[in-house]
Chain A
Amino acid sequence: MYWRLYINNHNAMNRILFLVDDDKDDQEIFVDALKNVDNYIHCITALNGLEALQKLKFELISLPDFIFLDLNMPLMGGRECLIEIKKDSNLRHIPVVIYSTSASKKDIQEALQLGAIFLQKPNKFNELVQDLLKIISPDPATNKTLFS
């Protein structure tokens, strides 16, 4: 009984966010913003889709609560990576956010069709904080509407 409670608590306190982005600057800004949202959320990173899949399928001990995917990356971009994630029965339940500079209609539609939500990389730090707050809010109601 105590054990179970501990596990739950552990999960709630230490959520994991997986950021897949080849841009080191963007990674840094993202982590910085994330700290402003939730100091307990743990961020792990990968530099491209292939590395991300390798980590998700074979290396990570616990799966992340969110995956943020950049679109343009070397070796494997966000779109292909998203498709692979949705193919995998162990991974397909994890909410995915396509996190990209471009916000072309085509990219947004594709992301939605593939079961992800779309977040354009904002110009302002505070906007990013606000966006992250909305997305990784522990409030299940907010999350449900975003990732329905």
Chain B
Amino acid sequence: MFSMETILEPDGYELIKAKSGREALKILLAEFNFALILMDVKMPNMNGFETAALIYEREKLKHIPIIFITANNYGEEHIFQGYRSGAVDYIYKPVNPDLLRAKVAVFVDLYKKNYQLIMHEQKLIAINKSLENEIHERKMSEEKVNELNRQLLDNIDRLETANKELDRFAFMSSHDLQEPLRKIRTYSDLLQVKYKRLLDEDATKYINRIQHAAERMQALIKDILDFSQISNDANKFIQTDMNVLVQEVVADMHDTVDAKKAKINVKLLPVLNINPGLFKALFSNLIGNALKYAKKDIAPMINIYTEIDVNNKEAYTINPKNKMYCRIYIEDNGIGFDQKYAESIFDMFKRLHSNNEYEGTGIGLALCKQIVEKHHGFVSVLSQINVGSTFIISLPLNVLETLHQ
């Protein structure tokens, strides 16, 4: 054994010695990762073959190659027994140092390569595992996204239903509110008509106030009804000559126009694919506002004109996803308002004046906004106190749409 140590030590191997099969087993099981076992066949108590058999019974040790070192050639039978017990090679005494070194070198090299392979495999397994984890996580997050998506669609669905219900509710309630209100008006009117002579000045005044309040409530209910009906009407789009439509709206208002000595200039407007009923309400509200919020001492002047967004035309030709807009301007010389209210005036029931100054329900512009949005456009306003306001309706244009100018 000593001689072997001296032979192998210069090659830098770490050698661990055992004096018997039992001790060898103990060491093998306690320490780990031996590249090679060199074992004497002839040992006290338990010979090399028996030891090898015991070693190879252990799963952990099965892969360690054993080279038997034997002094005598016991013959083929003996060698065969060695191989059967798991040996991979034999070295005969006296040991040839070069042969020993070469053989050990081969096995150690093999062990090292094996070790590397195992490490590699472990790495691969780890990578695989993390890939699997990642896939699992992706699947989970995909499922989560799907679930969220489903919830979102659910919510949209619910929202739409709620919206429809709300519209229906607004319609029904405002419809049913009309009846008692009409009665209030009719009975107070009857009081006035039938008992005119019995009523003193105050009584007449009070009845007038009842009438006035009821009228105002009727206007509110009518506007809410109109508002609730937008969604129902919004789907019918027709190619409409805006010139004709605006003229019709203006004609309907000729009483007010005449009374206020208003001038309404309508410059050539395009033909657009819109819902005529809704657009009539839109123009009626905007022109009505221009007349209502006129200056007391100056006759109202309302200009209605259009502009195709030319700047965007180039953008459109490059990419049809860039929408082209048609803008319709309704410009007045009225009392105007602070530009900081430019957004909030489109809110439901938002008003800038008390009902005593200017009558109104605060629904008109909310209605306008809703109507333009139903046409996938938007409405905005530029205003200056004592100068006037310009309402701008912007509608996305389909370039195929004919623009009769």
A residues near B (Cβ < 8 Å) are 23, 25-26, 29, 32, 101-102, 121-126, 128
Instruction: State in angstroms the CA–CA spacing of A119 and B338 once bound together.
Output: 45
Number of inter-chain CB pairs below 8 Å: 31
26 contacts between A and B (CB under 8 A): A23-B179, A25-B183, A26-B183, A29-B186, A32-B190, A101-B178, A101-B179, A101-B182, A102-B175, A102-B178, A121-B182, A122-B186, A123-B182, A123-B189, A123-B214, A123-B215, A123-B218, A124-B185, A124-B186, A124-B189, A125-B186, A125-B189, A125-B190, A126-B189, A126-B193, A128-B186
- Residues of B near A102 (CB, < 8 A) are 175, 178
Instruction: State in angstroms the CA–CA spacing of A125 and B218 once bound together.
Output: 17
Q: Contact residue range for chain B?
A: 10 to 19
* Binary interface encoding of chain B residues 164-206 relative to chain A, with 1 for a CB under 8 A from any of its CBs, else 0: 0000000000010011001101100110010000000000000
**Minimal beta-carbon separation of B230 from chain A (angstroms):** 14
- Residues of A near B215 (CB, < 8 A) are 123
**Minimal beta-carbon separation of B253 from chain A (angstroms):** 19
Query: CB < 8 Å: which of B175, B186, B193 contacts A123?
Result: B186
Instruction: State in angstroms the CA–CA spacing of A23 and B185 once bound together.
Output: 16
What residue of chain B has the Cβ atom nearest to residue A102's Cβ? B175
What residue of chain A has the Cβ atom nearest to residue B171's Cβ? A104
Instruction: State in angstroms the CA–CA spacing of A32 and B218 once bound together.
Output: 24
* B178 in contact with A125 (CB, 8 Å): no
**Minimal beta-carbon separation of B291 from chain A (angstroms):** 24
**Minimal beta-carbon separation of B51 from chain A (angstroms):** 105
* A29 in contact with B190 (CB, 8 Å): yes
- Residues of B near A23 (CB, < 8 A) are 179
Instruction: State in angstroms the CA–CA spacing of A31 and B179 once bound together.
Output: 18
* A123 in contact with B179 (CB, 8 Å): no
Instruction: State in angstroms the CA–CA spacing of A122 and B186 once bound together.
Output: 8
